[in-house]
Structure 1
Amino acid sequence: MAKRCPIMGKALAVQSARNGLGSARAYGMGKAKLHTGSVKEAQAVDASVGTLFSAEKKAKAAAAAATANATATATPNCIPAHNPIHPNYEGFYAAELDKKHKDKSYRYFNNINRLAKEFPRAHMSAKDERVTVWCSNDYLGMGRNPHVLRTMHETLEMYGAGAGGTRNISGHNQHALALEATIAKLHAKESALVFSSCYVANDATLATLGSKMPNCVFLSDSSNHASMIQGIRHSGAKKLVFKHNDIADLEAKLASLPPEVPKIIAFESVYSMCGSIGPIAEICDLADKYGALTFLDEVHAVGMYGPHGAGVAEHLDFDAHRAGCPEGTIMDRVDIITGTLGKAYGCVGGYIAGSARMVDMIRSLAPGFIFTTSLPPATMAGAKTAIEHQMGHPTDRRLQQLHTRSVKAALTARDIPVLPNPSHIIPVLVGNAELAKQASDFLLSDHKIYVQAINYPTVPVGQERLRFTPTPGHTAELQEDLVSAVEEVWGKLGLKRTSEWRDQGGFLGVGVEGGNDVEPLWTDTQLSLGVNEGEGGVGEMRTGSLVGQEKDLDELRHHRGSGARVVGVLA
């Protein structure tokens, strides 16, 4: 209070100087340290690679500090002369970038402009330079769905481009309410809350829960997304990391905690870089046993699994949810579900769903929600339409699964190292950052196929890969082109094949005995591939070429509710 007073503020400043109190900032390892107390010799701290101060500036700083120290000692009531030394910020930036270049993890972005009317095609910087996109997270092509686009156009014309502010100021509207009601219905929860992205949803929710619950402890899967890791870190709560999908390790860590301590198990349904599936039912069992909350990230699963597209938790009780009986199911047992509107639903945004009180608490306390501008009305209206469309039309995700099966089988038959998994993700192991980048470049330059190389920190060093994500629009012809191109690039760069990884003892499931025997999460019956399926089954799936499978897909397209058929992608 005194510092704000024009009289006392000045007096305090003089007294502080007389007592020899000053401050000097030394920068090192990306953090600033504030030193207080008697005036000391200024110290320049080296950064991790370069230095923020040049040698010349270090010498000047030392001389200036010595002079100031001598002056302060001789005349303690005098204020030391101000002689600022400026850090070399640009040198620091350059040093950090140089590290990324040296370890080959520097990220290059390609100019890819997706074409709605030609999905999954795109053009590069030149509009006549066409490429096929094979790594989009718009898994179902909903970003070009005519129902979604029509809704967005109509909403845009009536309500304009932006929301006008945060939800608590002017961004709360009928579109937000309707979207949240639809999400709550999708996951059979009491309530839902929409955020600007699921990164923000995870970060804000976990940080708020952990900081508000006294003595809360998080139990986090070692392969969790960065947003969950960041949210837990921001909470300041204690964290125990359990081995990926390791139920025994999770239980050992739960058992080590006192029963009265609040616990939150944070995990995912589909881990997007490896395609593995979290053991949701088993984790729910442990949560019941040890009194923990479950926090399930369904980001890469919503729209993709279950009779209504609610995710893996719904898919595990497929028949019950198809019959409209969610009570007592695995999804019903999960406390908090988070998802995205920006992947299988083709729009943008994220959300949480759970009990009404939990959602209201996050709405009331989470800075990531309170202080963020609301999504535009057109975006929320489009997302609502996308969810409702997928709730009533499972054909898109069935086609996506069929295309995934065929591409996995074709690559595996050519000794290409596909990481085994039961999901819609096709990770192909390279194991070297520089080679993964070269493989991506050759596919783009020589074959007009775009797939981004995945490197550190998204995956650990030595586990670099290409990640393919087929969609309903990747027809047999495009699949044949892809497999042929990957075969050529693998030979051109001399990349390790499955047999070579096997000779080295196997790695990440590649080249491991029985590694390719993983059963897909979608069964043949659920895909309507079985005879006498009873719901528009198309007969047994033909084996053999991709062309043969495309015939099956054509038949499946005809079984869509509206009867409409669009070449390449479902309308």
Structure 2
Amino acid sequence: CGISREVTIWCSNDYLGMGQNPKVLNAMHTAIDKCGAGAGGTRNISGTTKYIVDLESSLADLHQKEAALVFPSGYTANEGALSAITRLLPDCHVFSDALNHASMIHGIRDGKSTKHIYQHNDLAHLEDLLKAAPVQVPKLIVFESVYSMEGDIAPIAEICDLADRYNAMTYLDEVHAVGVYGPRGGGVAEERGLMDRIDIIEGTFGKAYGLMGGFITANASIIDAVRSYSGNFIFTTALPPVLCAGALASVEYLKTSSIERDIVKANAKLLKQKLDSIGLSYLPGESHIVPLVIGDSTCCKAITDWLLHEYNIYVQPINYPTVPKGTERMRLTATAVHTEAHINELVSSLQKLWAENHGLLNLRVA
């Protein structure tokens, strides 16, 4: 209708603002001028370029693994890697956290392995399942570091202890952690000094790195196996040079710059403090993700509509099937481009909404 207004986004996955970083944009401009827009084929048919090879080398270095493999998205990386690995391990038993991402669930299902679902972050339940499995079968524990809808972080060290005790491999999804955590952006496993205890680390460029694409890192044998047997890798167009160039610039920049990580953590802490000060509950967690559970889809949609139309604040309502019915929520993500003024504006707007609509909203908040 010809009217424009400035809107503050509070649900972006571009946690560090790298999608706007000049070094990333310059690398992409150079690559697109030199190579054009597309990859020209699958990885096995003209799609493997120096850009993607260099990116895989950088990722292997980031996670201190022998090799890495780039996929078109984080979803296809999880689905393709898990289906291939579990198919190649005869009679493999997979132990999967109950809140794992859909891409992990689909990959495990496609692998047709025996699967066991353990209650979210429940070490005792996981151990019971591991203990009950046949001793001689291959075992794979599949979990995330930062859970995107809960904002909590897995007990990685303790899971690795169980993996050692029961001779299981470990597969860690770090999509919401790479870039944000660790001294070089290697994720929570790097931050806690645990990367060497994880067999396969999966990540994405679509969140903190500010672009799109996904990857796995592991030893050379695992990477070769996935490269050779994953349909998600073999039968799809490769990530084009322009995206590989941007991803490489972002990964390399964040190996040495901690400024963005520090701002995200400070903003997340301040946001939680401000919410506490007005009595608004959120799911407890150590991460930069702050979920406010509303518990009703209609109410959740109404709140986010009010925020947008009345206060120029955009938060996407999270409803079923992303989360179970009855746990609908607003997922707030503190980023490096938010300011204290943005945080004050958000919290003030939420406070006004709750005050003005007390009868409708106060029982809906966790």
The answer to whether TM tops 0.5 is yes
Cα distance, 1:384–1:127 mapped onto 2, change above 3 Å: farther
Choose which of 398, 411, 433 in structure 1 pairs with 2:275.
411
> What CA deviation, in whole Å up to 9, does each residue of 1:420-476 have, x standing for no partner?
111110111111110000001000000000000001111111111101112121111
Cα drift, residue 259 of structure 1 = 1.1
| Secondary structure of the structure 1 residue equivalent to 2:216 | strand
Given that 2:10 and 2:332 are in contact with CA atoms closer than 8 Å, whether structure 1 keeps it comes out as: yes
The residue type equivalent to 1:450 in the other structure is: Y
* Gaps in structure 1 of 5+ consecutive residues: 1-124, 318-329, 502-506, 511-571
2:55 is the counterpart of 1:191: no
2:243 is the counterpart of 1:379: yes
* Gaps in structure 2 of 5+ consecutive residues: none
2:46 maps to 170
In structure 1, distance between residues paired with 2:205 and 2:61: 15
Given that 1:439 and 1:493 are in contact with CA atoms closer than 8 Å, whether structure 2 keeps it comes out as: no
In structure 2, distance between residues paired with 1:315 and 1:376: 31
In structure 1, distance between residues paired with 2:52 and 2:99: 32
In structure 1, distance between residues paired with 2:3 and 2:18: 22
In structure 2, distance between residues paired with 1:142 and 1:418: 27
2:195 is the counterpart of 1:331: yes
2:347 maps to 483
> What CA deviation, in whole Å up to 9, does each residue of 1:26-69 have, x standing for no partner?
xxxxxxxxxxxxxxxxxxxxxxxxxxxxxxxxxxxxxxxxxxxx
Cα drift, residue 493 of structure 1 = 3.3
Aligned length: 365
The residue type equivalent to 1:359 in the other structure is: I
Cα distance, 1:362–1:493 mapped onto 2, change above 3 Å: same
1:421 maps to 285
In structure 1, distance between residues paired with 2:105 and 2:283: 24
Given that 1:270 and 1:277 are in contact with CA atoms closer than 8 Å, whether structure 2 keeps it comes out as: yes
Given that 2:7 and 2:314 are in contact with CA atoms closer than 8 Å, whether structure 1 keeps it comes out as: yes
2:56 is the counterpart of 1:180: yes
Choose which of 178, 191, 213 in structure 2 pairs with 1:349.
213
1:69 maps to none
Q: Give 1:358-377 correspondences, 5 Å limit.
A: 358-377=222-241
> What CA deviation, in whole Å up to 9, does each residue of 1:365-400 have, x standing for no partner?
100000010111010011000001011001101001
Choose which of 37, 58, 79 in structure 2 pairs with 1:161.
37
In structure 1, distance between residues paired with 2:277 and 2:143: 33
The residue type equivalent to 2:296 in the other structure is: N
In structure 2, distance between residues paired with 1:208 and 1:365: 6
| Secondary structure of the structure 1 residue equivalent to 2:142 | strand
In structure 2, distance between residues paired with 1:407 and 1:333: 33
Cα distance, 1:127–1:158 mapped onto 2, change above 3 Å: farther
In structure 1, distance between residues paired with 2:29 and 2:87: 41
In structure 2, distance between residues paired with 1:336 and 1:278: 16
| Secondary structure of the structure 1 residue equivalent to 2:7 | strand
Choose which of 121, 134, 138 in structure 2 pairs with 1:245.
121
2:275 is the counterpart of 1:399: no
2:110 maps to 234
Given that 1:418 and 1:427 are in contact with CA atoms closer than 8 Å, whether structure 2 keeps it comes out as: yes
| Secondary structure of the structure 1 residue equivalent to 2:201 | strand
Given that 2:296 and 2:328 are in contact with CA atoms closer than 8 Å, whether structure 1 keeps it comes out as: yes
Choose which of 435, 443, 447 in structure 1 pairs with 2:311.
447
TM-score (norm 1): 0.63
Cα drift, residue 290 of structure 1 = 0.7
In structure 2, distance between residues paired with 1:203 and 1:489: 41
Given that 1:183 and 1:353 are in contact with CA atoms closer than 8 Å, whether structure 2 keeps it comes out as: yes
Choose which of 151, 162, 183 in structure 2 pairs with 1:286.
162
| Secondary structure of the structure 2 residue equivalent to 1:417 | coil
Choose which of 2, 11, 22 in structure 2 pairs with 1:146.
22
| Secondary structure of the structure 2 residue equivalent to 1:337 | strand
2:328 is the counterpart of 1:464: yes
Choose which of 140, 148, 152 in structure 2 pairs with 1:272.
148
> What CA deviation, in whole Å up to 9, does each residue of 1:280-329 have, x standing for no partner?
11111111111111000000000010111100001113xxxxxxxxxxxx
Cα drift, residue 496 of structure 1 = 4.8
TM-score (norm 2): 0.97
Given that 1:435 and 1:493 are in contact with CA atoms closer than 8 Å, whether structure 2 keeps it comes out as: no
In structure 2, distance between residues paired with 1:127 and 1:479: 25
The residue type equivalent to 2:184 in the other structure is: H
In structure 2, distance between residues paired with 1:383 and 1:489: 40
Cα drift, residue 126 of structure 1 = 5.2
In structure 2, distance between residues paired with 1:380 and 1:126: 36
Cα drift, residue 209 of structure 1 = 1.3
Q: Which has the higher contact order (CA 8 A, sep 6+)?
A: 2
The residue type equivalent to 2:319 in the other structure is: N
1:200 maps to 76
Given that 1:148 and 1:382 are in contact with CA atoms closer than 8 Å, whether structure 2 keeps it comes out as: yes
> What CA deviation, in whole Å up to 9, does each residue of 1:140-176 have, x standing for no partner?
0000000000000011000000000101001001001
Given that 2:14 and 2:210 are in contact with CA atoms closer than 8 Å, whether structure 1 keeps it comes out as: yes
Given that 1:155 and 1:378 are in contact with CA atoms closer than 8 Å, whether structure 2 keeps it comes out as: yes
Cα drift, residue 489 of structure 1 = 1.7
Larger Rg: 1
| Secondary structure of the structure 2 residue equivalent to 1:244 | coil
